[in-house]
């Protein structure tokens, strides 16, 4: 009987020793994980202060001397593009405006010249037409010293499954969201390389960091813009050229409206003018940002979410939006 008790005691002691060893191992892993997360939080806070706080303390830079006399903005007659053009003009830059509506272009041009006393050039072009328009654009802007290119033009669509989408809409998304930024960058880069200065800004979207069910094509095109900017920044940084990926969350513009309702500006959903002012201050400071610090906070939260949770949440939200739109269309009928 004593032998059995001794064996049990030995077994129990061995289990305790093993458990202690496992506890120590788990404690080490936990300490490493906690340290890693703490470092990420501290680094994130530092980056937020550096990107969004420091530029305000340094004051307004001289964009003309840093990049050149002219800025080119695509999709410039509404929303972020229009506000970004106004911000650039407030720094004394001349603006080339490219959009498909000649009437809106004319009004935007007149407003900028009257308000800021700068020169403008308007080019009417529909980017959904694909390759055919770029020879004309290149001819129109060939004599201009373009210091900043803002690839803002883009289209969105109401949530749909891929098999429900109109084929024309798919080609429009690719031609406008993907081809335009790629080809416009190709057009202006040679002169930037020759001068050894310039900046290209791609308007991507915060949702591009995760797939979005029922907005698959849209988020894929925005991911393309983000990756294009990152790769070009690596290619051209040593040539004095800045390439920035802007990844905003929701901004109160017509592009982000659903069911005919434009969202009201708020703290986390800024107006286009507030967003553009904040975003422009990050140019030359960071190559990849949301452009607006409350959006950066949202970006960090989305990054921490498990992919499965993100997919589930976005699918529910997009399905609800889809039902709302269909209900609205039925009421009109």
Tell me what the mean pLDDT of segment 308-333 comes to.
Answer: 82
Look up tokens 């949702």; give the residue: 207
Displacement of CA 332 from its chain's centroid (Å): 34
Q: What pLDDT does residue 99 have?
A: 96
Q: What pLDDT does residue 8 have?
A: 54
Q: Which residue has the higher pLDDT, 28 or 77?
A: 77
pLDDT band at 299 (very low <50, low <70, confident <90, very high): confident
Q: What pLDDT does residue 106 have?
A: 96
**Range list of β-strands (E), 11-93:** 70-74
For 227, what's the count of Cα atoms within 13 Å in the CB-facing half-sphere?
9
Q: Are strands 146-151 and 70-74 parallel, antiparallel or unpaired?
A: parallel
Q: What pLDDT does residue 323 have?
A: 85
pLDDT band at 23 (very low <50, low <70, confident <90, very high): low
Q: In the predicted model, is pLDDT for residue 7 greater than 60?
A: no
Q: In the predicted model, is pLDDT for residue 203 greater than 90?
A: yes
pTM given for the model:
0.83
Q: Is 218 tagged catalytic?
A: yes
Q: Which of 218, 224, 236, 275 is catalytic?
A: 218
Q: In the predicted model, is pLDDT for residue 76 greater than 90?
A: yes
Q: In the predicted model, is pLDDT for residue 96 greater than 60?
A: yes
Q: What pLDDT does residue 57 have?
A: 60
The residues, any chain, with a CB within 8 Å of residue 185's CB and separated by 6 or more, are 149, 151, 200, 228, 232
Q: Which is it for the CA torsion 228, 230, 231, 233, positive or negative?
A: positive
Q: What pLDDT does residue 2 have?
A: 47
Q: What pLDDT does residue 303 have?
A: 83
> What whole-number distance in Å separates Cα of residue 297 and Cα of residue 206?
11
Helix (H) or strand (E) holding 33: helix 2-48
Q: Which residues pair with 232 in a beta bridge?
A: none
Q: In the predicted model, is pLDDT for residue 133 greater than 50?
A: yes
Q: What pLDDT does residue 3 have?
A: 46
Mean pLDDT of the chain: 86
Q: Which range (57-66, 71-80, 152-161) has the least confidence?
A: 57-66
Q: In the predicted model, is pLDDT for residue 15 greater than 70?
A: no
**Residue 318 in 3-state DSSP?**
helix
Q: In the predicted model, is pLDDT for residue 9 greater than 70?
A: no
Q: What pLDDT does residue 304 have?
A: 83
pLDDT digits (tens, 9 = 90+) for 227-273: 999 999 999 999 999 999 999 999 988 765 554 455 567 778 999 99
């Amino acid at each position: 009987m004593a032998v059995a008790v001794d064996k049990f005691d030995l077994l129990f002691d061995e289990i305790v020793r093993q458990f202690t060893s496992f506890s120590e191992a788990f404690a080490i892993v936990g300490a490493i994980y906690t340290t890693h997360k703490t470092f990420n939080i501290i680094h994130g806070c530092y980056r937020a202060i550096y990107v969004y706080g420091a530029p305000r303390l340094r004051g307004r830079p001289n964009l003309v001397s840093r990049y050149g006399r002219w800025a080119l903005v695509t999709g410039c007659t509404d929303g972020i593009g229009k506000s970004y053009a106004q911000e650039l003009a407030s720094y004394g830059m001349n603006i080339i405006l490219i959009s498909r509506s000649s009437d809106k272009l004319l009004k935007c041009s007149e407003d900028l010249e009257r308000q800021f006393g700068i020169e403008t050039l308007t080019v009417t072009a529909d980017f959904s037409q694909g390759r055919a328009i770029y020879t004309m654009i290149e001819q129109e802007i060939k004599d201009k010293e373009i210091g900043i290119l803002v690839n803002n033009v883009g289209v969105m669509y109401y949530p749909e499954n891929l098999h429900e989408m109109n084929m024309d809409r798919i080609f429009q998304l690719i031609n406008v969201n993907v081809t335009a930024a790629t080809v416009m960058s190709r057009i202006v880069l040679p002169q930037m390389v020759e001068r050894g200065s310039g900046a290209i800004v791609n308007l991507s979207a915060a949702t591009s960091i995760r797939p979005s069910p029922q907005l698959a094509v849209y988020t894929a095109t925005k991911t393309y813009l983000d990756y294009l900017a990152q790769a070009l920044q690596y290619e051209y940084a040593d040539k004095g050229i800045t390439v920035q990926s802007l990844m905003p969350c929701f901004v109160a513009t017509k592009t982000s409206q659903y069911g005919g309702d434009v969202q009201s500006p708020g703290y986390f959903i800024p107006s286009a003018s507030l967003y553009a002012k904040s975003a422009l201050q990050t140019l030359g400071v960071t190559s990849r940002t949301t452009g607006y610090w409350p959006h950066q906070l949202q970006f960090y939260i989305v990054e921490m979410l498990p992919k499965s949770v993100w997919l589930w949440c976005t699918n529910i939200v997009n399905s609800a939006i889809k039902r709302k739109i269909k209900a609205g269309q039925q009421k009109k009928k």
